[in-house]
Amino acid sequence: MTETNKPEQPECCCHKKNTPRSTEEVKQLSNRLNRMVGQLNGIGRMLEENRYCGDILTQVAAVESALQSFGYLILKEHMDSCVIEEIQKGNTEIMEETLELMKKLK
pLDDT tens for the chain, 106 residues long, are 444 554 444 454 557 778 888 999 999 999 999 999 999 999 999 999 999 999 999 999 999 999 999 999 999 999 999 999 999 999 999 999 999 999 998 8
CATH of the domain spanning 23-105, picked from 3.20.20.70, 3.40.190.10, 1.20.58.1000, 1.10.260.40:
1.20.58.1000
d(CA 58, CA 93): 40
Segments making up each domain of the chain, as ranges: 23-105
What pLDDT score was predicted for residue 9? Answer: 44
What pLDDT score was predicted for residue 13? Answer: 53
